[in-house]
Amino acid sequence: MQDIVITGMGFGDEGKGSFTHYFACKENITNFIKYNGGCQASHTVTFDDGRVFKFSQLSSGMQPEIGRTFLSKHFVIDILNLVVEIKEFAKLFKSDAKQISSRIFIENDCVVVTPYHKVLNKIKEIAKGNDSIGSVGTGVSETMRILDETGICLRARDMVNKDVVLQVFAQLRELVQKHRVENPIKLSGELNKETEFLLKEKSPELLFDYYQKHLNNYKLNFIDDFKTVTKNERVLYEGSQGVLLDKDHGFKPNVTHLTTTNEKVLAPNQRKIGIIKSINSRHGKGYFPTEDKEVSNIISDENQEIGQFNGKIRFGWFDAALLNYAIEKCPIDELALSSLDLIDKFDKIKICTKHEQGRPVYIEMKPNRQEFMSTIERLCNIKIKTFSTGPKFADKVEVLK
Average pLDDT, the chain: 93
> pLDDT per residue over 363-372, tens digit each?
999 999 999 9
> pLDDT per residue over 211-228, tens digit each?
999 999 998 999 999 999
Q: How many distinct helices (H) and strands (E) make up the chain?
A: 12, 19
> pLDDT per residue over 224-276, tens digit each?
999 999 988 999 999 999 999 999 999 998 888 899 999 999 888 899 999 99
Q: What is the pLDDT of residue 8?
A: 98
* Residue 135 phi, psi (nearest 5): -65, 160
How many Å apart are CA 58 and CA 104, to the nearest integer? 8
How many Å apart are CA 9 and CA 7, to the nearest integer? 6
Strands (DSSP E) along 198-294, which ranges? Answer: 221-223, 236-238, 270-277, 280-283
The enclosing H or E element of 194 equals helix 189-199
Residue 70 has pLDDT above 60, yes or no: yes
Q: What is the DSSP letter of 242?
A: -
Position 131 confidence tier, pLDDT thresholds 50, 70, 90: low
Q: What is the pLDDT of residue 376?
A: 98
Question: For residues 284 and 137, is the Cβ–Cβ distance under 8 A?
Answer: no
Residue 324 has pLDDT above 90, yes or no: yes
How many Å apart are CA 247 and CA 245, to the nearest integer? 6
Q: What is the pLDDT of residue 183?
A: 86
Q: What is the pLDDT of residue 251?
A: 93
Q: What is the pLDDT of residue 254?
A: 86
**Domains observed in the chain:** 111-219 (1.10.300.10)
Span 113-117, average pLDDT: 97
